[in-house]
Amino acid sequence: MIAIRLSFKILATFLICSGFVVYFFSLYWRLIMSISKIQNTVRKNAGRVAALGNWPSYIPAESLVSRVPGSGSEGPGFDAGIACALDLIPRDKQKLSATLHAAYTAGAVEQVRTESEDMDPDSETVWWLAASSVCLEGAVDQEGFLWQLHSFGFLASDPEARLRAARDELEVMQSTFETKTHGFPHGVVDGCIQGAYLAGFQFGTIYMEKYQLYFIGTYLPSLGLEDFEWSDEVDSEGETLSGPVHGSRQFVKCRDRQEFLAAVGVVKRHLAD
């Protein structure tokens, strides 16, 4: 009798474990299929989003696809650009998000500032901020990406929740920099330059520890650094440590604090004219 009971326990355990294994692989297969479908949809719509946002040539439309993590890998994850490609943001509300995915322009910054004064849950600014609130610092895996997607799906379906998320995100963005240290906007957190723009400043700066470089950015046509004498020092891969990033007049890097402060001095005089 004891042997029979043990046999039943063994059989029950086997069936439970087998059922779990079947469920696990079924869930894993659905996950793979979902990600594959998402990647295909993003790939199909990436060109449309890039054209809508008038992306600069050095940002290829295909870069949007790389945000979706592949099998066994990680990617930057969900953002407002992905939301546009998947049509999670209504088509007639996508232009601002498509633009800001690649560059902060004077028109886009002014639109965010204006629409933030009296937030409408259906405004382009609220849609963009709500999508940005789901972004995570660092890379995400497939499960993390699907969690982001689910989170934004909820915000897309609930105007009040979307509005709350947008307000919270704007507050976070505008708190990522400080002005006491240097007398101008400076931070060490990704997004602090953009936060300075939205808070009303013409330019912002950041020190990025992982590169050990300073960066200066503006949404205006130029920082006024076209004639600035940059260091010709290069890194181990032959990349310059100073000067315009991708030839930009609006975004530059500085190899050390001395060069950084000298460049900022020129920027301040230029923007004051």
Long-range contacts of 23-26 (CB under 8 A, 24+ apart): none
pLDDT digits (tens, 9 = 90+) for 166-221: 999 999 999 999 999 999 999 999 999 999 999 999 999 999 999 999 999 999 99
pLDDT digits (tens, 9 = 90+) for 223-246: 999 999 999 999 988 899 999 999
pTM equals 0.83
Give yes or no for a contact between 84 and 45, defined as CB atoms under 8 angstroms apart. yes
**Mean pLDDT confidence for 51-55:** 97
**Mean pLDDT confidence for 258-262:** 98
Spans of all domains in the chain: 26-173, 186-272
pLDDT of residue 33: 53
As a whole-number percent, the residues of the chain with pLDDT over 90 amount to: 82
Helix (H) or strand (E) holding 131: helix 124-133
**Mean pLDDT confidence for 42-66:** 96
Give yes or no for a contact between 41 and 19, defined as CB atoms under 8 angstroms apart. no
pLDDT digits (tens, 9 = 90+) for 124-175: 999 999 999 999 988 999 999 999 999 999 999 999 999 999 999 999 999 9
Bin 123: left if φ > 0, else alpha if -120 < ψ < 50, else beta. Answer: beta
pLDDT of residue 71: 84
Q: Would you give the DSSP letter of residue 182? A: T
Q: Which residue did the predictor score with more confidence, 23 or 52?
A: 52
pLDDT of residue 22: 40
Residues 6+ apart with CB under 8 A from 169: 129, 130, 132, 133
